[in-house]
Amino acid sequence: MKKKILFLITKSNWGGAQRYVFDLATTLPRETFEVTVALGGTGLPGAAVGALAKELEKRAVRVVFVHALSRDVSISGDLRALLEVRRMLHKERPDVLHLNSSKAGGLGAFAARLSGVGSIIFTIHGLPYDEDRNPFARAAIFFATWITLLLSTSVICVSRDNFERVKKIPGCKHKTSLIHNGLPPLPFDERALARKRLVEETHLASEYEPLWIGAVGELTRNKGFSYLITAAGALARAGKRFHLFILGDGEERGELEQQIKEHSLSSCIHLVGFVPDAWKLMRAFDVFVLSSVKEGLPYVLLEAGQAKNSVIASHISGVTDIIEDGVTGLLVKPKNSEDIEDKLKTLIENASLRERLSEKLYTWVLRQFSVERMTQATAEIYRS
């Protein structure tokens, strides 16, 4: 008899946690598991479903829309979401409820306990109390996360740092596992085609700089794009020639556009906007930069590794599972534009270093971060 797996995630717009749910939902063996994914909209109350739902439906994975589930805290809205999730659990009767993201984790774990679900798994895609907040808010978020962990029967961490820290939280030592994210081999666009697509997206002139720098992510403060833009601007003023493409959209777009405009950087820094399957364009880049302040285990670095980009990334939890400084990439202090500038200058001027770092990262990512390894380890937790 098949085991019924129900995933629950707060937002259905595309991101790292959504990619994780998609990969597990589509690669778990269907002869063993019956999979359903329950999800909210794109974040705001009343929002429609996003890209995750559409991609799952293309792969014939059943989707349930939780209308009341949204990102921001709201007593009335969260109560409606809790009741809706509980009704769904009574209807679906899953053997395993697999929770992803903080809001879905807390509401889902509580509803599952009320509904008698036997196996409640919570995957931590980066600890939420690591974000820049005031001490009171961080303490409140820690307490809410701890309650979610206690209500769950198993906890999965995607980075070693989070794994070591969560094990030390009371009640979590013996139910916490480390399972890295993984990817299948990706069919990237070839370099010439990828560059042609970006030229068309940004309306560049046909003559453009040979060295391209890329960054991909939702335009939020956690991604630290303002620090990257500051660093790139300093290099441009120093006479370095390059194009920086930032692929993604989000709440910070207006501020970043203003930053680029104020410093007259629009000729070399381009906010491309949301691009479906942005990973396909990775081979357009010589250097890839992840300037984040907080991450889980960033899929985008796995994509950059498979595409043979040389990488500069923030020295934060999750990143250090993938990037060894000076071996598979260069690490920079988070929120430090001067460090990003220095490392970018190094790679711009040193083609042999770019090649050496990219080859090492390519080999490491293919060996250590496969979707098969991730799926098999997760399936073992479902079975147990």
Where do the domains of the chain lie, and which CATH numbers do they carry? 3-182+370-383 (3.40.50.2000), 191-368 (3.40.50.2000)
3-state DSSP assignment of residue 220: coil
Residue 26 CA from chain centroid, whole number:
18
Query: What is the chain's pLDDT, residue by residue, as a tens digit (384 residues)?
Result: 899 999 999 999 888 899 999 999 999 999 999 999 999 998 778 888 999 999 999 999 999 999 999 988 889 999 999 999 999 999 999 999 999 999 999 999 999 999 999 999 999 999 988 887 889 989 999 999 999 999 999 999 999 999 999 999 999 999 999 999 999 999 999 999 999 999 999 988 766 778 999 999 999 999 999 999 999 999 999 999 999 999 999 999 999 999 999 999 999 999 999 998 899 999 999 999 999 999 999 999 999 999 999 999 999 999 999 999 999 999 999 999 999 999 999 999 999 999 999 999 999 999 999 999 999 999 999 998
CA distance 47 to 31: 34
pLDDT at site 206: 61
Structure tokens at 99: 């929770």
pLDDT at site 42: 86
Structure tokens at 52: 């995750």
Structure tokens at 82: 């809790």
55 half-sphere exposure, CB direction, 13 A CA radius:
19
CA end-to-end distance (rounded Å), the chain:
15
> Are 339 and 332 contacting, i.e. CB atoms less than 8 angstroms apart?
yes
Q: Which backbone phi and psi does 37 adopt, to 5 degrees?
A: -120, 120
Rg (CA), the chain: 21
Residue 128 CA from chain centroid, whole number:
13
pLDDT at site 131: 82
What pTM does this model have?
0.91
